[in-house]
Amino acid sequence: MDIRDYTEKYAAQYRGRGPGWFEATLVAIRRRQVIASLERHPHGRVLEVGCGLEPLLAYWSGFQRLTVVEPSPEFVANARALAAGRADVVVVQGFLEEVAHQLAETAPLDFVVVSSLLHEVGDPERFLRALHALAQPATVLHFNVPNVYSFHRLLAREMGLIADLFEPSQTEKTFQRTTRFDRATLEAMLVSAGFELIRFGTYFVKPFTHAQMERLIDEKILPPELVVGLERMSTYLPDMGAEMFAEVRRR
């Protein structure tokens, strides 16, 4: 991954300086799923892999100790500023696979958050092996990734706009995303790496692309409350959420 290019594009989108402000809405929804997952399991000693501009400590304080691993220098500096003066937070710069030996010193772990990251990892098998080595039998790991069976991708295929659900989108190309997942491929990869599934789900039924959602709301064709309803729609369309999560532990 070109981490500098990724950092610039991510920061521009996240801070509203580029196209795709709807992603911030999805980030908030994703965050609620992460917190719900954390609160279902013991979560005193937490590892967050990849924190972006809003590490876990910025919106959740239910940990006793938090270790953050992040390769982007800008994101590391931001996380360290947020954690200034806190003895319960450690921020490590580097790719997980390269700093795993340092992280072993923080074991045991109760919970690992890998949010919106696995699909961007160049060598996911190596990445998962490193996580497996860090996890204890009782450690719970939360992964979330985009779902190729999202309602909007199914609609695009039926409209003839894409030929294959696994066809990369422009967003995936922009952010150097290397792997696309449905439930079967995600679960198979995690099981192959030595994990067992505890819980799976999808969330936020998104009918249109980010750009189309932005236009519908910006031009007041549909109200902002649309987002609340779509978040709840996964109750009725449980396989078609825009993203999916898996909670796993070591076999």
The string of pLDDT tens digits covering residues 129-170 is: 999 999 999 999 999 999 999 999 999 999 999 999 998 766
63-93 pLDDT, tens digit per residue, is: 999 999 999 999 999 999 999 999 999 999 9
pTM comes to 0.89
Structure confidence at residue 17 as a pLDDT band (50, 70, 90) = very low
pLDDT at residue 54 tops 80: yes
- Side-chain half-sphere exposure of 94, counting CA atoms within 13 A: 12
Scanning the chain, the segments in alpha helix (DSSP H) are: 3-14, 22-39, 73-82, 96-103, 124-134, 151-158, 170-174, 183-192, 210-218, 226-232
The CATH number for 140's domain is 3.40.50.150
Burial class (CB in 10 A: 0-12, 13-18, 19+), 52: buried
Q: How many helices (H) and strands (E) does the chain have?
A: 10, 7
Q: Are 112 and 130 in contact (CB under 8 A)?
A: no
Q: Are 241 and 201 in contact (CB under 8 A)?
A: yes
Q: Are strands 243-250 and 195-203 parallel, antiparallel or unpaired?
A: antiparallel
pLDDT at residue 6 tops 90: no
Domain count of the fold of the chain: 1
Print the domain residue range for 187: 3-250
